[in-house]
Amino acid sequence: MKAEISPERLMARVASLGRIGALAGGGVCRLALSDADKAGRDWLVAEMEALGLTVFIDAIGNIWGLRAGTGAGAPVMIGSHIDTVATGGLYDGALGVLAGLEVVAALDGAGIETAMPIAVAAFTNEEGARFAPDMMGSGVYQGALDLDTMLATRATDGGGVVGEELDRIGYRGTDAPITPAAYLELHIEQGPVLEQEGTRIGAVTGVQGIHWTEFTVHGQSNHAGTTPMALRRDAGQVATRIALAADRIAAELGPPQVATVGVFELSPGLINVVPEQARLTVDLRNTDGAALDAPTARLLAEARAAAEAAGCTVEHRALARFAPVVFDEALVGKVAQAAAARQLSVKRMPSGAGHDAQMFAPDCPTAMIFIPSEKGLSHNVKEHSDKRDIVAGAQVLLDLVCDLAGAKT
């Protein structure tokens, strides 16, 4: 007997988690280590326990639930995250974790044991929207990021430190991570490609490189009416030039280079005061990691020149530096085969977004399954994926887990 996804059970869990941190008018805000994140975690742990999973929590607050196999050894892990950006949707991250729960429920319902254990994991702070860098929990789990440095990370808005926030919400655990035998992640595409092409499943070949940089410009406040233009030390104008430089550099390089200025703050932020300080962030991404070094260096040089010309100073902090990652070719092939076996059209494609999967790729066979995102929208409260696609993606995940973990049908 083959295990089948229950659409109702899966969608009920999507709706339940979607109510935690729900925003009026749609979408969710479950910023990492916030009260809403704690509520989501409490709900998830209760769901795992109800499914009979043994729950583990490590020192950075990653949660994983283990379903025993008939044999010992490392598990096949299904992972993603339940934190969101402040204006997030119901599916980014949540879908991967909830599909993991559904895989376990479907196997239990069909009375199917597997030779290898199965782990369902939710990693801390994948988004990086409150604490940089992103992929923090999976990075610590796999050893790419230093635990103590991450625990000491202050929130980008100054409100809270990772270690203290973990203590506050009760999720600083002591369990030791185990490297899985294989890692799988179902995720919404978060871009327009699958929908535009009418393709049902993406077999993800890898994840592009990410450079996040924060700039702080220091100038001098002065009166907006009385200070001649030539005598100003206007931090706001310098910040604007840095933002425009990021846009121009991306335009000159062309696709696949992208650039985003997501944070832009002026201080004191008053209509009639020349800003004395500006803070902005630049997110640069490219599928070719080496190709990211040059635009980053150019941006830093342009920032220094703009500050100097305006009598200001500029500091920068590297908030994230992730090289591109290539997923295991054999496992990517299995994703494509599993989709084809269910008569689902499939496209091999890179991921534009960062994912926990990229932290596992160097250490174990890793692959991701993408499903279409309506209108390519994500990191947006209107983020949506069709139920039919959600169920199809979860079914491909379940079939793959059965294959990899040795389902005894």
Helix count (H) and strand count (E) of the chain?
A: 12, 17
Which range touches Mn ion (CB under 5 A), out of 26-34, 37-45, 93-101, 343-351?
93-101
Distant-in-sequence, close-in-space partners of 373: CB < 8 Å, separation ≥ 6: 91, 188, 189, 190, 191, 192, 194, 195, 383, 384, 385
Q: Does 354 bind ligand GLV (CB under 6 A)?
A: yes
Q: Decide whether 48 or 325 has the Cβ nearer to ligand GLV.
A: 325
Q: Does 399 bind ligand GLV (CB under 6 A)?
A: no
Q: Which of 18, 65, 69, 93 binds Mn ion (CB under 5 A)?
A: 93
Shortest Cβ distance from residue 129 to ligand GLV (Å)? 8
Q: Which of 292, 353, 371, 407 binds ligand GLV (CB under 6 A)?
A: 353
- Interacting residues with ligand GLV between 301 and 320 (CB under 6 A): none
Q: Alpha-carbon distance 155 to 131, whole Å?
A: 5
Q: Decide whether 201 or 312 has the Cβ nearer to Mn ion.
A: 201
Which range touches Mn ion (CB under 5 A), out of 40-48, 86-94, 210-218, 221-229?
86-94
- For 287, the enclosing helix (H) or strand (E) is none
Shortest Cβ distance from residue 220 to Mn ion (Å)? 38
| Closest to 99 in 3D by CA, of 402, 392, 406, 409 | 392
Distant-in-sequence, close-in-space partners of 134: CB < 8 Å, separation ≥ 6: 125, 126, 127, 128, 210, 212, 320, 354
Contact (CB, 8 A) for 166 and 131: no
Q: Coil, strand or helix: which one is 191?
A: coil
Contact (CB, 8 A) for 279 and 236: no
Q: Does 356 bind Mn ion (CB under 5 A)?
A: no
Which range touches Mn ion (CB under 5 A), out of 68-76, 87-95, 100-108, 280-288?
87-95
Shortest Cβ distance from residue 188 to Mn ion (Å)? 8
Q: Which of 47, 58, 102, 127 binds ligand GLV (CB under 6 A)?
A: 127
Shortest Cβ distance from residue 137 to ligand GLV (Å)? 13
Shortest Cβ distance from residue 355 to ligand GLV (Å)? 7
Shortest Cβ distance from residue 134 to ligand GLV (Å)? 5
Please choose which of ligand GLV, Mn ion, none residue 354 contacts, taking the beta carbon within 5 to 8 angstroms, the exact cut-off set by kind: ligand GLV
Instruction: Tokens for 15, please give them.
Output: 């709706």
Q: Which of 83, 102, 134, 328 binds ligand GLV (CB under 6 A)?
A: 134
Shortest Cβ distance from residue 126 to Mn ion (Å)? 6
Task: Using CB under 6 A, count the residues that bind ligand GLV.
Answer: 4
325 class by beta-carbon count within 10 Å (0-12 exposed, 13-18 middle, 19+ buried): buried
Distant-in-sequence, close-in-space partners of 370: CB < 8 Å, separation ≥ 6: 187, 188, 189, 194, 201, 202, 203, 204, 349, 351, 393
Q: Is the dihedral of CA 195, 201, 203, 209 positive or negative?
A: positive
Shortest Cβ distance from residue 297 to Mn ion (Å)? 27
Q: Coil, strand or helix: which one is 58?
A: coil
Length of the chain: 409
Interface residues toward ligand GLV, by CB under 6 A? 127, 134, 353-354
Give me the residues that bind Mn ion (CB under 5 A), please.
92-93
